[in-house]
Amino acid sequence: MQRIRLRYTKRGRLRFTSHRDFQRAFERALRRAEVPMAYSAGFTPHPKVSYANAAPTGTGSEAEYLEIALTAPRDPEKLRALLDESLPAGLDITDAVEARTPGLADRLTASVWELRLEQVAAEDAERAVAAFLAADAVEVQRKTKNGMRTFDARAAVADLEAAPAPSDRPGQGPCAILRLVVRHVTPAVRPDDVLSGLRAVADLAPPVPAAVTRLAQGLFDEESGTVTDPLAPDREAVLAAPPKAAGPAAAPEPTGAGSA
């Protein structure tokens, strides 16, 4: 059995697709591309696809990950191209590598988010960010299936910066860009929780919903404060693997008078 790890995106209007919507679209793409999928056992077999830390509905993403199991080997790049052609624009397969190391989910310990705040001046966003980072704790509330829950949004935030939007952006009026690095903790702290925290500590309330995009997710490096590529260990393992040995040479055809 071969395992392939894929990176995919949710762009444009496809950011509003739920995780279940993506699952259905991806399984259709597997069938269209005639991928030799491995299936689970039991009365209702399903393709062996493992999804890791999917982004919430309504947020865009440049860094979603999944793993598939195959019954026959395939070239990862050719497989990526076939699946990408079989998915709608916006759900794009951008990277593929053969899984050579364990624990992909264990390497997704932090995410980098971009939050676009229309009609918010960069100066106001910077003041709110400074107040948020200066706080020892920022309690926020979120409604869950078990009722309203209160938790600290500050502890999970490794970095938070504010800057003005590029001058050539579409649209009019002020716009601030927040860059957020958040650790994956329990309970999970989402970008909207950080926005709730900014409202609590600095009364920052964007008049329109923020456009949220995950730029990266992977292992958080405490020393550099960066989020590393979770597929890098697999690429390195593929490069370091010795070339496959050639099969035994075929025996020479018999010659001479003794030939049958």
> What's the pLDDT at 249?
46
Cβ atoms of residues 110 and 219 within 8 Å: yes
DSSP state of 14: G
Query: How many whole angstroms separate alpha carbon 24 and alpha carbon 134?
Result: 44
Cα 146 to its chain centre, rounded Å, is: 27
Distance, in Å, from the CA atom of 212 to the CA atom of 192, rounded to the nearest integer, reads 9
CB atoms within 10 A of CB 91: 22
* Residue 64 contacts residue 5 (beta carbons within 8 Å): no
Domains of the chain as residue ranges with CATH: 2-105 (3.30.70.580), 109-226 (3.30.70)
Res 146: pLDDT:
80
Partners of 54 in the β-ladder:
none
Residue 243's pLDDT is 60
Q: Which residues of the chain have pLDDT under 70?
A: 168, 170-171, 242-260
117: exposed, middle or buried (Cβ count in 10 Å: 0-12, 13-18, 19+): buried
Check if the beta carbon of residue 21 is closer than 8 Å to that of residue 87. Answer: no
Q: Which residues touch 206 (CB under 8 Å, ≥6 apart)? A: 117, 118, 119, 120, 195
Can you give the pLDDT at residue 9? 97
- pTM of the prediction? 0.88
pLDDT tens-digit map of 133-191: 999 999 999 888 788 889 999 999 999 999 998 876 766 789 999 999 999 998 899 99
